[in-house]
Structure 1
Amino acid sequence: MDLQRIKYFLALSEQLHYWKTAEKVNITQSALSRQIQSLENELGLQLFERNKRNVKLTPAGKFLKAKWEVELNELEYIHQFAKQLHLGERGAITIAHPDSISASIMPDLLAKITQAFPQLQIKLVQVLYEDQPEFLRNYKIDLAITRDVNNQQGIKSRKLYSDNLALVVPLEHAFQGIADLSTASLTEQKFILPTKDEGSSYSEIIQAFFDSYDFSPDVFLYSEFGSTIIALVRKGLGIAVLPDSYLHHQSPGLRFISLPFKTDLYINWRTDDHNPVLANILDLIFKDEDPDPKVKPAK
């Protein structure tokens, strides 16, 4: 059954006047009459009672008007929903990110995304370093924000942001600033560090800090979770080297001493992913830079 005929029927059932209805739906009166007659023939019933003065709905016409109005509204919603999916304005996306940016970059990034695409469903997860490529390739996550350079086939990366490493110490600690750091003073400390992952460029940056003072740290504990490290430093169990973005976690009782070592953040996605939601988010994130962020991987 032609949806357009049903729309003509509903318009006439409201106006109950052929000339006014024809003008409203932008067709001729004779064309409207043919469409209604064709619909009645297809259904095998009369929808309107007509005479020279009046047009009114038959009982069958009244029944179909009530039903078709509901059905047509639902169909319009379905079509609009499908269109939003096609345009990437609606749907779902899973983003993995490090704990360090939970209170710095992520709130601003999510506000930007939800303002542009309020119908999107976003799931945030944290994934171990060694699992990130597999999770991306297997569609368990759609975007991964990492501190490591990606060299995996089938995954593209682009630099998102940079911050500095910081030495994190309790407020009462003797270290007040970078001038207090020396090989001797650092050697005396117990360290609580992020888990050292083989092949991780982020781990290499932390090691570069230790190498610059020519010492090997006495590591008390390794943890995947920066928030846990922060809590242990506050407890006085050691000092830590973390990204200075943890400053945004509002951690009282701690001092962050900025170090001259940059740690970059990269956003990673599947090379062959044609999900319009993903394309929209990448375009939104990088809209002030290269107009096609999907072309160039990070080097």
Structure 2
Amino acid sequence: MNLRQLRYFCEVVEAGSAAHAAERLHVAPTAISMQLGQLEAHLGGELFDRSRRPMEPTPLGRFFYPRAKELLLQAVRLDDEAKGLATGSHGWLGIAFTRSATFSVLPRAIRQFRAAYPQVQLDLVETLSEYQPAQLRQGRIDIGLSRFIGPCEAPPDLRHAVTLDDPLVAALPLHHRLAGRTSLRAAELADIPFILYPKDPISPFGQQIVAALKAAGAEPAVAYSAVEIYTALSLVAAGLGATLVARSIAENNRTDVVFLPVDDIATSTTVVAVTRADEKSRLVAAFLEILAHGERP
């Protein structure tokens, strides 16, 4: 199966006959028939009911048409973007990010980058920090916005650039008895059901939060586990418990949750831009510059 066969097939569907499709494509009708025959042989079934005039797609043809059309559109987009990248008139930048980065550095950086480089295609994908190094090594992304608790040393083939130091604060239900306080101590959270996140087998983030509480003398009772931070905060808002989040999330989040500093927890999170150590892309450098300074490069 190839793109020519897909193109000829879609043209026959839209034109209603092989003859009309051949006229529109400026090829011989025999070329259309030959390509359709090869495609049907490959698929193992007929795509058209040739006993009808105009020809009508069979059930297989009706299934195949919209998917073939989408593949052709993707091929055109790929061709345009690759040519633009090769000539320098366009570009592509893949960015992975943790969901919590959408509360702080990411929206501003994207706005400023798009203003400076309107022809660059941004491919944004939400990915936990632990999965971003593999995507960088595979070339699927160019920058990863990760969040770590405590120090995190970059592997030899990657580079870390700190973009934000983000201390932990407590998230409590709006009407909790402690919600009117200006700050808390870690031990006061021990009597409240604790909501752990993210629920992922390779992420240590939740356990590191628990370790920070234990280091401050608290023994949190984990009652719920959430897949990601939005779910965790929804559970807090529902009155099911408390959790710890980064301060930037408190500054730009919901009004049915109260966020309070925890006086005796010194542990902080860090938002880090992760790139390949041998990265030479001017677009990566420009995005890192915006992350670092908040200004156009």
- Compute the TM-score of the two structures, normalised by the length of structure 2: 0.61
Deviation readout 1:20-69 (Å, 9 max, x if unpaired): xxxxxxxxxxxxxxxxxxxxxxxxxxxxxxxxxxxxxxxxxxxxxxxxxx
Alignment of 1:144-293 (within 5 A): 144-148=144-148, 149-175=152-178, 176-177=180-181, 179-181=183-185, 183=187, 185-195=188-198, 206-259=209-262, 260-286=266-292
Deviation readout 1:48-93 (Å, 9 max, x if unpaired): xxxxxxxxxxxxxxxxxxxxxxxxxxxxxx9xx85x7666x73111
AA of the residue aligned to 2:96: A
Deviation readout 1:96-131 (Å, 9 max, x if unpaired): 112112133211111111111111111221113332
Contact 1:96–1:125 (8 Å) recurs in 2:
yes
2:100 is the counterpart of 1:94: no
Deviation, structure 1 residue 132: 1.6
AA of the residue aligned to 1:177: R
Determine the C-alpha separation between the residues in 1 that align with 2:286 and 2:184.
Answer: 47
3-state SS of paired residue (1:101): helix
1:111 paired residue number: 111
Determine the C-alpha separation between the residues in 1 that align with 2:107 and 2:100.
Answer: 12
Unaligned 5+ runs, structure 1:
1-77, 292-299
3-state SS of paired residue (2:110): helix
Sort the Cα spacing of 1:247 and 1:180 in 2 relative to 1 into closer, same or farther, 3 A.
closer
Deviation, structure 1 residue 284: 3.9
RMSD: 3.1
Range with bigger deviation, 122-131 or 200-209: 200-209
Deviation readout 1:208-263 (Å, 9 max, x if unpaired): 53124323211122234111111111011111111122224431211001235421
- Compute the TM-score of the two structures, normalised by the length of structure 1: 0.60
State the identity as a percent.
25
2:130 paired residue number: 130
Determine the C-alpha separation between the residues in 1 that align with 2:211 and 2:159.
Answer: 26
